[in-house]
Structure 1
Amino acid sequence: MAFSRDPLDELVVPDGTEAQERALVTDGDVLVGGRATVEFGVRGRNVLAGESAAFGGDIEADGDCRLDMWCDVAENVLVGQDAYIGERVHVGGKLKVAGDLDIGDDVEIEEGFEANGWIVIRNPMPTIVFLFVYLKHLLLIGEDDAAQRLVSELVEDDEDGEPEAEPLVIPRNATVGDDAWRVSTPATIGDNCRLHGNVRAETIDVGANCNIFGSLRARDDVTVGEGARIHGDLTTRDGDVEIASDARILGDVSCEDLELGPDAEIDGTIRAAGEITMGTTERDLE
């Protein structure tokens, strides 16, 4: 996994992520930028949230959980290893930690907390802030190799030597929920994802075989992968749209140039200010 810029400058939804009834579920880590709002719970390996991030449901972390100051969690925080809770964090339910707990001042946990390991009351370092400020500084001064080593240490191999799943990244100031996913950055959605809500971003890249129950709207280019299903309109203000083979848009498409792959379908109206290019199947070429 390589970062060419600040990793919180893009919405990244890794392969296989699902928006279930009350939680966003992924196999890898969950990184949430400062002042972002996640209107449901999250479930992943390690969960790290920046200052003033808000969650509308449970946080379930198989590994560690780190919440910087002023974070707000509407329900429970369940942690499989260690937890680091910054000052003035609010938890609307219980905090349960299987390992050690570092907890800051003025933390409010409405239904109490328990930890199987050591409990230390202090103000933990805001780890996610330090991590990404340091990484961004390395990139700015041209230390790409050092930045890559830092990322490699974070994304460790599993016991079989295979790389762990790519993290789910929600940028700063984003809003993510059943109604809409709103970011002012590019958005990349991996393969085989199932999401609910309208996606609003600078650019949007949807992977293969995704099901998105909502519309896509971007300022610039939009790409829809092979076999994907978009249950809504697809609109870009100034960009082009590429729809791969066997993909289907259950709504209207509005763009500059439009490229349609073989057997791609659009159920609604096409509004293209520029060119429309249609792919052909192997059978058509015979």
Structure 2
Amino acid sequence: MTSPYRCSVAAADQPMAGTAAVDAGFLLVEHPGPWGNKALAESRIIPEETRTRLAANADAHGVRVLLIRRPGERSAAGPAYRVFLAHPATGRLDVQVLDGREALADLDLALEARGPGWQPYAGPLLLVCTNGRRDVCCAEFGRPVAQAVAAQLPEETWETTHLGGHRFAVAVLTLPDGMSYGRVDAEAGVAIGEAVRRGEVVPAHLRGRTAYAPQVQAAEVALLQELGLTAVDALDLVADTTVEGSGTVTFRSAAGEHEVSVVAEAVAPARQSCADLVEKPSTAWRVASVRARAGNG
């Protein structure tokens, strides 16, 4: 008997670095479900007009909307719910409590300054993609991981809707740092959660920093691994001189500046999700070299 197709199994050999979705900010909305393929647009508890206004507001501010719930939660606990606004570039994470779903339409989603109603949240948050209506891998593999991680890190752990990159399930996002991870099992999930508490990353599972373009993501992951660094702020981006994804990315660490040469390479067409019957090409970033910049020290 033929086993059902699973995109994350088929893509087990594909490189992950540089595959994080690029997003300036994130709005997280407590929402017990059910979650559809297009989670916000298909919400049964957010009025249609509110969904439309929220989506337009989020797009205008470069904010990605994610619906979140505690692992295993499927029914609403009451009318009051939390929303979080994260801006990874500044490391800011804010929260407010709303009463009534219509209030979502009037949220201030400005990322550069804290708007009315928002309060600082101590964080951090660890989001595990479990949106099975979007991709089977996310539910089949993601939900057990979310439950296992929540048993160790109950305050930090949430299930979330689509993070991008089903083929790298289990997909995880940490906030406020905006680090995207893939192929996360329960043990790795706990390690990532403990690392984000310390202001660190786990390079072995890192897909990239969502504030960076894909080639910069790949360069940062490679340099973290090369230098053995784990602090989330260990590297500062100095310059990106790539053209169409290939070229040089320069970072500064405590030891000086480092140049990472990256090359964009086409990946053979493949199904990008379990439900996608059409094979599509994708791009991978090969790191050609990592070297200290002349004049360091």
- TM-score per shorter chain, which class? under 0.3
- The answer to which structure has the higher helix fraction is 2
- The answer to which structure has the higher strand fraction is 1
Which structure is higher in RCO with an 8 Å CA cutoff and minimum separation 6?
2
TM-score with structure 1 setting the length: 0.28
TM-score with structure 2 setting the length: 0.27
